[in-house]
Amino acid sequence: EIVLTQSPATLSLSPGERATLSCRASQSVSSYLAWYQQKPGQAPRLLIYDASNRATGIPARFSGSGSGTDFTLTISSLEPEDFAVYYCQQRSNWSYTFGQGTKLEIK
Amino acid sequence: EVQLVESGGGLVQPGRSLRLSCAASGFTFDDYAMHWVRQAPGKGLEWVSGISWNSGSTGYADSVKGRFTISRDNAKNSLYLQMNSLRAEDTALYYCAKENGGNSFDYWGQGTLVTVSS
C-alpha cells in the first residue's frame, strides 16, 4: 500500500499570506494525486486532480504541482474561508489512500 | 445538479451486519466508477471500497476485505455496501463518492453514520 505523508500537520497563517502544503508518497504515484478541502461538518471538496488540474469552480488562488513522490498544494493569498483541513489522495490500481491531513488554522 | 444521498446507517452491535445505500442523480450513473470513503469521529479520510461502472472490477481496503461487499444497480442509479462482521473500529461516517473518470472523487454525499457498539 502506498503511504501518503502530509506536512506540516498544522499550519498557522494569516489571511492574505501564502500557504504551502506538502504531500509525499512512499513510492511513485506518477501524477495521480488529488487534493481535497474539508470544513467541519461538511463532506470533502475536490480542489485539484491529477496533481495540477483545478476542479470545476475552484478559485485560481489554489494550485497544485509535483509528480512522482513529491507534491505541493499552494494557496497564493489566503481568504478567511480557506481555513480548513486539507487531504491529499492517490490511486494505484484499485488501491486508494489519503494522507493524514494538514490543518490550516488562522494565526 | 449531482446529488448523492446515503442511507442505512445506524447503531449496530459488534458482529452484526448493515447495508448502506447511496442514491445518485444528476449524472449518467453507469458512466462512472463509484466508491465508499469513511471517516471515524475526529479522524481522517479512509477509502473503503470502489466499483467500476459495469461492476466488472472492485477494490477493498485491507481493513474491510472479506467482510464488506460493494455492489451497484445501474437501473436504479444506486450504490450499496454490505457490511458484515462489524467491529467497533468500523464506527464512522460513510460517504458515497463519484469518481471523476480519472483518479479522484469529484462529488460526495453528506454521509451516513455507522456506530458499532454493544
Does the structure show a pLDDT above 90 at B45? yes
In degrees rounded to 5, what are phi and psi of residue A82?
A: -85, -10
Does the structure show a pLDDT above 80 at B102? no
Q: Do B44 and A100 touch (CB under 8 A)?
A: yes
Interface size A-B, in CB pairs within 8 Å, comes to 63
Q: In whole angstroms, what is the distance from residue A58 CA to residue A9 CA?
A: 23
Peptide bond into A8 cis (omega under 30): yes
Does the structure show a pLDDT above 90 at A92? no
- Helix/strand number for chain B, H first, E second: 0, 11
CA distance B111 to chain A (A): 8
Q: List, for residues A14-43, the tens digit of each pLDDT value.
A: 999 999 999 999 999 999 999 999 999 999
Q: How far is the CA of A1 from the CAs of A29, B59, B102, in angstroms?
A: 11, 13, 19
Q: What number is the average pLDDT over the span B46-72?
A: 97
Does the structure show a pLDDT above 90 at A94? no
Q: In whole angstroms, what is the distance from residue A34 CA to residue A51 CA?
A: 6
Nearest to B6 by CA among B28, B38, B31: B38
Instruction: Map grid coordinates 494522507 to a residue.
Output: A99
Q: What number is the average pLDDT over the span A83-102?
A: 95
Does the structure show a pLDDT above 80 at A93? yes
Average predicted confidence (pLDDT) for chain A: 97
Average predicted confidence (pLDDT) for chain B: 97
Nearest to A85 by CA among A71, A69, A99: A99
Does the structure show a pLDDT above 90 at B68? yes
Task: Give the whole-number percent of chain B exceeding pLDDT 70.
Answer: 100
Q: Do A96 and B45 touch (CB under 8 A)?
A: no
Q: In whole angstroms, what is the distance from residue B52 CA to residue B17 CA?
A: 24
Task: Give the whole-number percent of chain B exceeding pLDDT 90.
Answer: 97
Q: In whole angstroms, what is the distance from residue B89 CA to residue A6 CA?
A: 23
Give the pLDDT score at A5.
98
Measured between beta carbons, the chain B residues lying within 8 angstroms of A90 are: 103
Does the structure show a pLDDT above 80 at B101? no
